[in-house]
Amino acid sequence: MSAPASNGASQAGTGVRAPSRASIAERTLRTDRWWLPPLLTTLGLAAFVIYATIRSFVRTAYWVDEYHYLTPFYSPCLSESCVPGSSHFGTWFGELPGFIPLGFIVLPFLLGFRLTCYYYRKAYYRSVWFSPPACAVAEPHAKYTGETRLPLIIQNVHRYFFYVAVLVALINTYDAITAFHGSSGGFGFGLGNVILLGNVIMLWAYTLSCHSCRHIAGGRLKHFSKHPVRYWLWTQISKLNTRHMQLAWITLGTLVLTDFYVMLVASDVIADLRFVD
Ligand code: FES
Q: What is the pLDDT of residues 15-44, one digit of tens each?
A: 677 788 888 878 899 999 999 999 999 999
Pocket lining: 193 vs ligand 1, CB cutoff 6 Å:
no
Distance 20 CA to ligand 1 centre (A): 34
Quick one: pLDDT at residue 91? 96
Query: Are the beta carbons of 134 and 126 closer than 8 angstroms?
Result: yes
Whole-angstrom distance, CA of residue 158 vs CA of residue 79? 28
Quick one: pLDDT at residue 12? 54
| ipTM of the shown complex | 0.99
Distance 8 CA to ligand 1 centre (A): 36
| pTM score | 0.90
Query: Are the beta carbons of 214 and 237 closer than 8 angstroms?
Result: yes
State mean pLDDT over 51-63: 97
State mean pLDDT over 153-158: 95
State mean pLDDT over 183-209: 97
Quick one: pLDDT at residue 14? 65
Query: Are the beta carbons of 114 and 122 closer than 8 angstroms?
Result: no
Residue whose Cα lies nearest atom 1 of ligand 1: it is 117
Q: What is the pLDDT of residues 251-273, one digit of tens each?
A: 999 999 999 999 999 999 999 99
Whole-angstrom distance, CA of residue 158 vs CA of residue 4? 35
Pocket lining: 17 vs ligand 1, CB cutoff 6 Å:
no
Residue whose Cα lies nearest atom 2 of ligand 1: it is 210
Whole-angstrom distance, CA of residue 25 vs CA of residue 8? 10
